[in-house]
Chain A
Amino acid sequence: MVSPILINMIVSSVLSAGIASAVSPLAALSRSTMAALQMLHVVIAGGFLGVLIYHMGMPIPPIATTIVFSLLMSIAIAELIERGFTQDVAAAISAFTSCAIAALSGFLASRISSTALTEAWSFLIGSLVLIRITDILTLALLLIITTVLVLMFHREVIYISFDEEGARAMGLRVRYYRYLLYGLLSVVAVGLSMSLGAIIAHILLAAPGAISSKISTSIRQVFGYSLGISMLSVCIGIVLAYRLALPPGAMIGVAVVLIYLVFTICLRGFRR
């Protein structure tokens, strides 16, 4: 009989792969992958802040604080870029601000409660082997929201990536689409980090889009390959982890690297 832990692991991995395959191509095509990965710093800061606020006696669940904080920071990054900062600089500003907030919140929380830091880390850094049914439901909801938003607005985000000035001249409200993209990336970063852990979140946010955008000749292909790469990498990763008794997050990472090598070395003619 298959263990419930393994079933939960497989279901959550497939859901996460679905979420990642939808947003990762948008991040890659809009050259926002580094900003997306930087969101994971924001998630950590939001988590520490959430735990601090909770221990200060305010009845606000830490996850709510984390989501609100991440959304606000994503809007701040989008606004900085809108005002002429490069994505790198905007991401750097967000990174050091988040790290400062995380350090300060962590210190203050540890003075209030001796278990606060442990709570914050366990709350933030999920693990595939510890996945619960509530995590699976959260991921399912996130998948639905992400898929709907990406289906509705991917064209505009891609048009802006292709030719931002032309998109503005055509009347697209670039600022709001940027808010939407970064907001979506931040919510996905929160969901993936809390359910599966920051390492898998890093891998799944970056790899599928980066690989698929390099080998595709149309947008439909980018999303198709992204879905295939995400699913394949989590399946291979889980099988490897189960067979070799190694951490699934690490094995998913190994699977992604193997897939990347296959595409870039063995199928060189396939690459554009």
Chain B
Amino acid sequence: MHEGVEVKNVTVTYGDVVALDNVSFSLGHPFFAIVMGPNGAGKTTLLRCLIGLVRPVSGSVKVFGLDPVKRPYDVRSITGYVPQMISVDQSVPLRVCDIVAMGLLSKMRPPRLVRSSELSSAIMKILRIVGIEDLYDKPFYALSGGQKQKVMIARAIAHNPKLLLLDEPFSMLDAESRVEIAELIYELHRRYEMSVLMVAHEISPCMCYEPVVLILNKKLYAVGKAHSVLTKEVLMKAYAGYMEVGRITILGEDHG
């Protein structure tokens, strides 16, 4: 097992609110992992910790041996990040090629001058990997939800990262698109040995890939393969609104 992500006793607070409470786990590269938990469980905070966007009040994080607090830009250079679609301002009239160019150019020094023919061919190469080369100059706002998610993934992998972090990549997608996106993410993991850590409320699109599942609700309740982690005992602890109705399990939220 190679060094991947190591989180030791990490606590994060926003003012008086505890977002992560003494969380520890380690994942050896290359891993394919999903963080599950109710709303407000600290899932996004965990991702942000890994790239140094949030500083833990205690504990330590290592990403491929690098400390994101001390060397955030080094960590970000080996990490691709796909944020929640809700945080993207879709009124900015960017085309698909502009967005993928972001991922490529962000790793260069300002003023980031590059021949447009070289940039175009690099963009096209990445779009082919994701399977959306026909969308090259389409406006982002005009794409479907699944296509938008693929564009954001293309941007994230543009600089060939070792670690891909995705924040709710299946949100606002229909069932077919969710399966397609899960397949794409797994292919990136398998073919390019990319470690993947994604936040998801629903893991069914990924179940066939046997991901490592982390059950989080401020504290980490379990880490392991889905069949050993998704047990009634664990889910009852992590989800305050857990209930079973016939053969259906409802993972309710605790809004108390």
Residues of A at the B interface (CB closer than 8 Å) are 29, 31, 152-153, 155-156, 158-159, 161-172, 213, 216-219, 221-222, 272
Contacts and interface: CB of A to CB of B under 8 A. Distances in A.
A171 B76 contact: yes
Given A158-B92, A166-B83, 17 more contacts: A29-B92, A152-B111, A156-B110, A158-B94, A162-B92, A162-B94, A166-B87, A166-B102, A168-B53, A169-B76, A169-B81, A169-B83, A169-B165, A170-B102, A171-B106, A216-B93, A218-B98
Interface in B25-79: 51, 53, 72-73, 76-77, 79
Contacts of A166: 81-83, 87-88, 102, 152, 155
A29 B91 CA distance: 8
A163 B88 contact: yes
Contacts of A171: 72-73, 76-77, 106-107
A155 B105 contact: yes
Given A152-B110, A155-B112, A219-B98, A162 B89 contact: yes
B179 interface: no
A163 B87 contact: yes
B93 A219 contact: yes
Given A158-B94, A159-B102, A170-B76, A153 B110 contact: yes
A217 B92 CA distance: 9
Contacts of A161: 89, 92
Given A169-B76, A213-B93, A162 B99 contact: yes
B155 A165 contact: no
B172 to A, nearest CB: 16
Contact of B83 (A158, A159, A163): A163
B105 A169 contact: no
- By CB atoms of chain A within 10 A, which of B76, B89, B165 has the most? B89
Contacts, number: 84
Nearest to A213: B93
Contacts of B88: 162-163, 166
B159 to A, nearest CB: 8
B63 to A, nearest CB: 12
A162 B98 CA distance: 11
Contacts of B95: 217-218
10 contacts: A155-B102, A155-B112, A159-B102, A163-B87, A165-B81, A166-B83, A169-B79, A171-B77, A213-B93, A219-B94
Contacts of B94: 158, 162, 218-219
B87 A165 contact: yes
Contacts of B73: 171
Contacts of B111: 152-153
- By CB atoms of chain A within 10 A, which of B93, B102, B141 has the most? B93
A239 B73 CA distance: 54
Contacts of B89: 31, 161-163
B205 interface: no
Contact of B53 (A163, A169, A221): A169
Contacts of B91: 213
A169 to B, nearest CB: 4
B131 interface: no
A165 B103 contact: no
B139 interface: yes
A155 B72 CA distance: 22
A218 B139 contact: yes
Nearest to B139: A217
Contacts of A172: 106
A219 B51 CA distance: 29
A171 B112 CA distance: 13
Given A152-B111, A168-B53, A217 B76 contact: no
Nearest to A161: B92
Interface in B132-158: 139, 141, 152, 155
A166 B107 CA distance: 13
Contacts of B139: 217-218, 272
A268 B82 CA distance: 35
Contacts of A217: 93, 95, 139
Nearest to A162: B92
A9 B167 CA distance: 54
A-B CB proximity, top 10 nearest: A169-B81, A170-B106, A171-B76, A152-B111, A162-B92, A163-B88, A217-B139, A159-B102, A165-B83, A166-B83
Contacts of B102: 155, 159, 162, 166-167, 170
A168 B103 CA distance: 12
B141 A272 contact: yes
Contacts of A155: 101-102, 105, 112
A129 B243 CA distance: 76
